[in-house]
């Protein structure tokens, strides 16, 4: 029943031809050649329902496709395996029309049944997907999550090339959710055959297919010659060498042995590299959807006093902290990073004012300051940053004892209401899963995250703001996107007034590449295909 | 001999049981939740509870440990929480690299350490002795990371004699082995020196010299077999340490050993992998010591195994 066609006046039709939002092919790109990329950590899995790491995120994007995708190097959505889609006027029904003739790496054609299977699989608790929660707005999700259902009733196969997804509530972010790796389409027979080892034997529809995986050493991706995007990808082969220390990866890059050190330029070598014009010319700088912040636990005195939290915001010298990390960031003024839609331009945040902070503390009843604890993850540069924060706090009379712990222990402390008064988020800081301001709110600033074991370590819960957030996310009409972004901007300004965080910096990305690598700079600091968009980069030494 | 072996094997099983119990208990007490690492940032309380139940982490310690032990007895090391792969497969894939590096490292340690120790003992109090002991002190004190990077920079980057990290050929093995050899040889040379000095003072050495035997024969035929006994015990311990993984050297040289697997597992509380690596390491220590004890009587016939 195509009820969405009954009234074009009411129905929002977004049957967009893919080309309207698509990428302009690089005229200099040639097909062929191979590159070598290194990572320090081994790749845990290539199962799109499970993988959630720095190094496997972009790899999975190259092996699999979802219904939605992004224009390379941007945060602009474009259809992926869906050739077009429609959204009902109330924003709760999404109908996706699939591309015909798309083949999995095993040669079988992808159909709407595969889409349904993939969404059922990722939301099934047995899969243990870290991304299951993203699909919470699909009708029937709750029954899946509690194990009382094995399929999502909200996902219906209309015909082999049409799938309809009904939501329990309007969700303006849903198209972004469908572009997440977790929404990738997988073939049931390949998952059944591999069982729990599907992550080591991935079969998708992506631009590359896995040709070799030697555990602990390397993965080799080969070009998918049947790829549905004609002419892509450009590279014939990508070799990922794992277990490589970043400093050694840099030496190998300088020696011409590799093409991209996936973990970036090691901090100890950053200044040296940037001081050499020849090397600096091969470094691409870009923003990323990241904010590093200090949480102030509003359930623990004296941080239950908003004036104290505001004073702490004024006590921190963010410029100096940015210097500590060799200028690889920009000082943050608010929770959202500058490249995120909804960022409030022109808002300066709390300015660095130790004297003002002291006065504010005195007015709040703490003329001599107070004792507290600052939790921090124990890997460089986080302890050094925490020491700078400790010194800034000391200057206004606050004595913060450093609790430098393993990542898991800091996360556990943050999830308790009465354990960590302050946490420096470095090493665990929020990088957006998708480019939408809502992704910075719910789990880390909303009431839903302020629960035991949650990620809202400031334990800030403002029900009025939660309502505003829900209202903003129910605006699904693209024509009202500015209105929605204004609402989100307002929400974050109110968060800043309540000051449960000290936003410290927004990290920049610096990707270094070999001189033979081609492609627009944006591909090397792609905000979504992190760290590099492998499908569109190419080498210049092939004809 | 058979009775001795059976007794040692029973001891080994008890040691491994103890190690598994203590490690499992410590991981149980850890103030961190592996479920949060698996469930990710978007997980609801319901999702976390589901995962906890699926992995049996909602059960009391005794039940959890018993289940683990039951699997272990049947040769099942479990599946990685995060990689989902069988832990045995992950360990097995990295075992050859670990064994190779262990052999290379111990070879370098012995070559450098014993040579320095013997020369220092024979020239006790001389400039040579003092110089060698300073070198050994530097070796012991130098961080593996620094030595590794220095060797890499000089011999791989500047001179181009060896590849810059990686695994697969003899050339790849040289620099990581040498790094571990330089660091470890400090201990061996000091141990060898003091042991050799002690032996050289013995009456039978004096007798051998008085009989007019050549100096080389006295040292290598009479003194060395006796002086080397503590070194053999050290090798037994080293085998265990190397089997547990040498994280730093593996990272610097991109060596795909067990150490990197262990390090990543510890960071993310992947309990099945941590348990497996600990047990492999404990097994290696037990076997290394057993081997050292078995070899000793062949070198010093006065020692008998009982």
* pLDDT tens-place string over residues A148-162: 899 999 999 999 999
The DSSP secondary structure of B116-162, one letter per residue, reads HHHHHHHTTTSHHHHHHHHHHHHHHHS-HHHHHHHHIIIIIIIS-SS
Q: Which of residues 125-184 of B touch A (CB under 8 A)?
A: 149, 152-153, 156-157, 164-167
Q: Tell me which chain A residues have a C-beta less than 8 angstroms from the C-beta of B261.
A: 42, 216
| Average pLDDT over chain A, rounded to an integer | 91
The model carries a pTM of 0.88
Q: pLDDT tens across A13-22, in order? A: 333 333 345 7
- Alpha carbon of A253 to those of A37, A59, A122, A249, A261: distances in Å? 10, 20, 38, 6, 7
Subunit contact B84:A407, Cβ cutoff 8 A: no
DSSP E strands in A1-43: the ranges are 34-39
Min Cα distance A297 → chain B (Å) is 19
Q: Which of A216, A245, A406 sits opposite B256 (nearest CB)?
A: A216
Q: Tell me which chain B residues have a C-beta less than 8 angstroms from the C-beta of A252.
A: 164-165
Q: What average pLDDT does this structure show over A327-338? A: 95
Determine how β-strand A162-166 pairs with β-strand A93-98. antiparallel
pLDDT at residue number A15: 37
Hey, is the C-beta of A128 within 8 angstroms of any chain B C-beta? yes
pLDDT at residue number B304: 66
Could you tell me if A59 and A47 are in contact, meaning their C-beta atoms sit under 8 angstroms apart? no
> Which residue of chain A has the CA closest to B263?
A41
Determine how β-strand A398-405 pairs with β-strand A370-377. parallel
- Residue A476 CB neighbours (<10 A): 23
> Exposed/middle/buried for B87, CB within 10 Å: 0-12, 13-18, 19+?
buried
Separation between Cα atoms, residue A420 and residue A180, nearest integer Å: 32
Q: pLDDT tens across A94-141, in order? A: 999 999 999 999 999 999 999 999 999 999 999 989 888 899 999 999
Min Cα distance A435 → chain B (Å) is 15
User: For residue A146, what pLDDT band results from cuts at 50, 70 and 90?
Assistant: confident
Q: pLDDT tens across A382-391, in order? A: 999 999 999 9
Q: Tell me which chain B residues have a C-beta less than 8 angstroms from the C-beta of A146.
A: 46, 50
pLDDT at residue number B300: 72
Q: What average pLDDT does this structure show over A160-172? A: 96
Q: pLDDT tens across A394-411, in order? A: 999 999 999 999 888 898
pLDDT at residue number A498: 97
> Exposed/middle/buried for A56, CB within 10 Å: 0-12, 13-18, 19+?
buried
pLDDT at residue number B305: 60
Subunit contact A199:B83, Cβ cutoff 8 A: yes
User: For residue A78, what pLDDT band results from cuts at 50, 70 and 90?
Assistant: very high
Q: Which of A479, A132, A508, A482 is closest to A330 using CA atoms?
A: A508
pLDDT at residue number A300: 97
- Residue A46 CB neighbours (<10 A): 24
User: For residue A512, what pLDDT band results from cuts at 50, 70 and 90?
Assistant: very high
pLDDT at residue number A18: 34
Q: pLDDT tens across A252-293, in order? A: 999 999 999 999 999 889 999 999 999 999 999 998 889 999
Residue holding tokens 């200090």? A294
Residue holding tokens 């698996």? B38
Hey, is the C-beta of B45 within 8 angstroms of any chain A C-beta? yes
Separation between Cα atoms, residue B35 and residue B39, nearest integer Å: 6
Determine how β-strand A155-159 pairs with β-strand A162-166. antiparallel
Answer with the residue of higher pLDDT: B242 or A175. Answer: A175
Q: Which of A129, A216, A245 sits opposite B93 (nearest CB)?
A: A216
Subunit contact A45:B82, Cβ cutoff 8 A: yes
> Which residue of chain B has the CA closest to A427?
B267
**How confident is the prediction along chain B (306 residues), in pLDDT tens digits per residue?**
788 888 888 998 999 999 999 999 999 988 888 888 888 777 777 788 888 888 999 999 999 999 999 999 998 999 999 888 899 999 999 999 999 999 999 999 999 999 999 899 888 888 998 998 898 888 888 888 889 999 999 999 889 999 988 888 999 999 999 999 988 888 899 888 988 888 888 888 888 888 888 888 888 888 888 888 888 888 888 887 787 668 888 888 888 999 888 888 888 889 999 999 999 988 888 888 888 888 877 777 776 666
Subunit contact B84:A45, Cβ cutoff 8 A: yes
């Amino acid at each position: 029943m195509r009820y969405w066609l009954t009234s074009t006046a009411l129905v929002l039709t977004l049957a967009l031809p893919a080309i309207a939002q698509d990428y302009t092919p690089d005229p200099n790109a040639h097909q062929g050649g191979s590159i070598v990329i290194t990572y320090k950590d081994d790749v845990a899995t290539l199962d799109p329902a499970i993988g959630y790491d720095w190094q496997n995120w972009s790899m999975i994007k190259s092996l699999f496709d979802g219904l939605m995708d992004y224009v390379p190097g941007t945060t602009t959505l474009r259809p992926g395996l869906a050739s077009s889609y429609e959204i009902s006027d109330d924003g709760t029904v999404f109908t996706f029309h699939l591309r015909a003739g798309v083949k999995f790496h095993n040669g079988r054609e992808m159909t709407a049944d595969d889409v349904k299977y993939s969404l059922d699989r990722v939301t099934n608790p047995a899969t243990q997907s870290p991304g299951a929660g993203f699909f919470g707005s699909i009708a029937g999700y709750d029954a899946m999550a509690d194990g009382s259902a094995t399929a999502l009733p909200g996902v219906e196969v209309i015909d082999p090339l049409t799938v309809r997804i009904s939501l329990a509530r309007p969700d303006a972010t849903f198209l972004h959710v469908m572009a997440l790796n977790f929404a990738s389409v997988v073939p049931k027979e390949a998952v059944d055959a591999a069982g729990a080892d599907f992550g080591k034997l991935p079969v998708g529809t992506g631009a590359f297919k896995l040709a070799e995986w030697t555990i602990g050493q390397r993965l080799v991706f080969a070009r998918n010659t049947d790829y549905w995007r004609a002419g892509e990808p450009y590279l014939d082969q990508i070799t990922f060498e794992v277990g490589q220390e970043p400093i050694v990866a840099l030496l190998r890059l300088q020696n011409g042995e590799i093409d991209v050190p996936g973990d970036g330029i090691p901090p100890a070598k950053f200044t040296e590299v940037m001081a050499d014009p020849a090397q600096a010319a091969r470094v691409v700088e870009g923003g990323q959807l990241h904010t590093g912040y200090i949480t102030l636990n509003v359930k623990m005195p004296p941080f239950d006093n908003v004036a104290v939290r505001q004073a702490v915001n004024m006590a921190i010298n963010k410029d100096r902290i940015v210097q500590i990390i060799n200028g690889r960031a920009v000082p943050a003024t608010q929770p959202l990073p500058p490249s995120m839609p909804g960022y409030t331009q022109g808002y300066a945040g709390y300015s660095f004012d130790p004297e003002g902070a002291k006065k504010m503390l005195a007015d709040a009843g703490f003329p001599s300051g107070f004792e507290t604890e600052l939790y921090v993850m124990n890997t460089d540069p986080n302890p050094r940053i925490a020491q700078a924060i400790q010194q800034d706090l000391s200057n206004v009379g606050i004595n913060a004892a450093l609790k430098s712990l393993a990542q898991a222990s800091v996360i556990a402390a943050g999830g308790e209401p009465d354990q960590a008064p302050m946490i420096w988020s470095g090493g665990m800081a929020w990088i957006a899963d998708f480019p939408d301001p809502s992704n910075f709110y719910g789990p880390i600033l909303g009431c839903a995250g302020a629960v035991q074991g949650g990620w809202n370590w400031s334990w800030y819960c403002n029900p009025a703001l939660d309502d505003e957030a829900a209202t903003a996310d129910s605006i699904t009409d693209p024509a009202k996107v500015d209105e929605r972004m204004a609402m989100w901007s307002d929400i974050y300004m109110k968060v800043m007034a309540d000051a449960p965080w000290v936003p410290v910096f927004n990290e920049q990305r610096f990707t270094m590449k070999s001189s033979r690598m081609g492609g627009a700079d944006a591909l090397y600091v792609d905000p979504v295909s992190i760290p590099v968009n492998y499908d569109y980069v190419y080498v210049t030494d092939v004809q | 001999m058979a009775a001795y072996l059976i007794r040692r094997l029973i001891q080994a099983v008890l040691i491994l049981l103890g190690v598994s119990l203590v490690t499992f208990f410590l991981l149980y007490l850890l103030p961190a939740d592996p479920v949060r690492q698996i469930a990710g940032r978007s997980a609801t309380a319901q999702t976390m509870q589901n995962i906890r139940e699926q992995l049996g982490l909602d059960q009391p310690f005794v039940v959890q440990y018993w289940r683990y032990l039951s699997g272990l007895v049947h040769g099942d090391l479990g599946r990685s929480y995060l990689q989902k792969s069988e832990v045995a497969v992950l360990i097995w894939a990295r075992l050859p690299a670990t064994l190779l590096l262990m052999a290379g490292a111990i070879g370098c340690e012995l070559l450098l350490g014993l040579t320095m120790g013997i020369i220092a003992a024979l020239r006790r109090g001389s400039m040579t002795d003092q110089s060698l002991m300073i070198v050994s002190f530097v070796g012991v004190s130098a961080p593996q990371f620094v030595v590794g990077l220095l060797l890499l920079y000089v011999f791989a980057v500047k001179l181009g004699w060896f590849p810059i990290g990686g695994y697969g050929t003899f050339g790849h093995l040289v620099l990581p082995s040498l790094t571990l050899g330089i660091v470890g040889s400090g201990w061996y040379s000091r141990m060898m020196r003091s042991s050799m000095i002690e032996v050289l003072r013995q009456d039978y050495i004096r007798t051998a010299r008085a009989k007019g035997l050549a100096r080389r024969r006295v040292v290598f035929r009479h003194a060395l077999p006796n002086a080397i006994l503590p070194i053999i015990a050290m090798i037994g311990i080293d085998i265990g340490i190397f089997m547990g993984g040498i994280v730093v050297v593996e990272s610097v040289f991109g060596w795909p050993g067990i150490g990197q697997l262990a390090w990543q597992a510890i960071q993310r509380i992947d309990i099945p992998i941590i348990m497996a690596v600990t047990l492999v390491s404990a097994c290696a220590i037990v076997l290394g010591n057993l081997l050292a004890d078995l070899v000793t009587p062949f070198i010093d016939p006065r020692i008998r195994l009982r």
